[in-house]
Amino acid sequence: MTDNSPVDVKLRALLADVLGLGEARAAALTADSGLFGELPEFDSMAVATVLTEMEDRLGILIDDDEIDGEIFETYGNLLAFSQRKVTG
């Protein structure tokens, strides 16, 4: 699921920016990597920042109702959600 697609690349860069992961940690994220609840930096403000940046950088609109806990459980889930939104 992590596939070096444009969405994958943008999403890693975005998480690196918001969570201060650094390039190495961002590049090491796999589909199973835990996000919310696993990375201490990933609090509710970070979630909000990630959503707004996803809209800006991926050119999508995200509705509140589309967001559930599962999306932020793993990197793979977040990427799959982003791919779905981009291909619309």
Partner 1 sequence: MTEHQLRIAPARTPRATVLIVPPLFEEANRTRRTLVIAMRALAEDGFAALLPDLPGQNESLVPLVDVDLARWRDAVAEVAAGIEGPVIVASVRGGALVDDQPKAAGWWRLAPVGGSSLLRTLMRARVSADREAGIDSTIEILHERARTAPLLLAGNMLSPAMIEQLAAAEARPVEPLRSIGMGADGIAGTPLWLRAEPGEDAAMAAAIAADIAAWSKTCGIN
Site residues, partner 1 (CB under 8 A): 16-20, 41-49, 51-53, 56, 64-65
The minimum distance between CB 21 and partner 1, in angstroms, equals 10
Output 3 or 41, the one with its CB closest to partner 1.
41
Structure tokens at 25: 């940690």
CB of 6 to partner 1, least distance (A): 16
Q: Is the sign of the CA dihedral 33, 57, 17, 19 positive or negative?
A: negative
Q: Under a CB-based contact definition with an 8 Å cutoff, are residues 2 and 79 in contact? A: yes
Question: In the bound complex, what is the minimum distance in angstroms from residue 86's beta carbon to partner 1?
Answer: 19
Pick from 59, 69, 21: nearest CA to 12:
21
